[in-house]
Amino acid sequence: MTSQPINEQTAENQNFEDSPQDAIHHLALDQVPANQNPAFNQTCFNDPVELIQQLQASSHTYCLFLDIDGTLADFCDDPEQSFIPDVMLATIAGIQRCQVPVIAVTGRQIPIAQQLFQSLTLPIAGLHGLDIVLDSGTRLSPDLSSIDFDRLKQALQHACTEYPRLLLEDKQYSFALHYRQCPELEPVAHDIMKQLVASYPQMKLNHGKCVVEILPIQADKGHAIQTILAHFGLDPITPIFIGDDITDESGFKAVNAQQGMSIKVGTGPTDAQYRLKDTTAVAAFLAQFHQFLPCRAANKAVSSCTREQYGEETCPN
């Protein structure tokens, strides 16, 4: 497979040195939650440049939280065939070099997520935040010893015997039933999981794009984001979270509560403040964010120097 090219909307033709007031003035949509903005009823997408301009209004540093499937990687019929394009990985590496923490928040198991990021090293909240690896010596996960996952898997396999086209994904502490290859079996998949979760009060269901997953009730992306921010002491900071699915909504709410930037990829109801159309638009935003970071750092240095020399934040040209 080949990766999709980034939409070539670079910083060369954009003025990232506008004042915060000018940046906000030029926005087509102010920072209004999508579910309260009439324009979003028609699924209007933001241009990545708008989001960069909005970030100029923040005086804080940034922290970037990223979902994987549907955000960095396009969906595949077989989840094992998914990949993050090399150009996207290079951009993320560049953002890290600008001293911006980048954290993956995904429904994938951590070893699978690590493979998708290839040589990049970053904290990962896997299984929708159930399992968090912050570094080589720090792992956060709840006690799940009361749940018989083997028995749960056997019951699920038995229920799926008559439907071989349903794809069962074993994530060790959760099980996902995919029906992307057979959308007509969506009601069957949901019914199987609904009957199963009734026997497991420690578990809940997550409904995603062509998938329904049974997982422990502690799994929550919003809680994972709050835990990571608290662990690293990232305050004051502007958190940014990009995701595409229903399972990302708790993450959007957590970021909104921190006065951050929440971005939904694609259509559908959401609590996110902004929308990007697809993974190509995400790549464009990340590329422009990477270009914006050194410019912002330079502007801060000039502002600091100006205050020292002139006693106020004005530009001596």
Q: Which residues are identified as catalytic? A: 67
Asked if 240 and 256 count as a contact pair (C-beta separation under 8 A), the reply is: no
d(CA 200, CA 228): 28
- DSSP string of the chain? --PPPPP---GGGS-TTS-HHHHHHT-SS-S--GGG-GGGGG-PPPPHHHHHHHHTT--SEEEEEE--BTTTB---SSGGG----HHHHHHHHHHHHTT--EEEE-SS-HHHHHHHTTT----EEEGGGTEEEEETTEEE----TTS-HHHHHHHHHHHTTT-TTSEEEE-SS-EEEE-TT-GGGHHHHHHHHHHHHTT-TTEEEEEETTEEEEEETT--HHHHHHHHHHHHT--SEEEEEEE-SGGGHHHHHHHHHTT-EEEEESSS--S-SEEE-SHHHHHHHHHHHHHHHHHHHHHHHHHHHHHHHHSSS----
Quick one: which of 204, 215, 206 has its CA closest to 170?
215
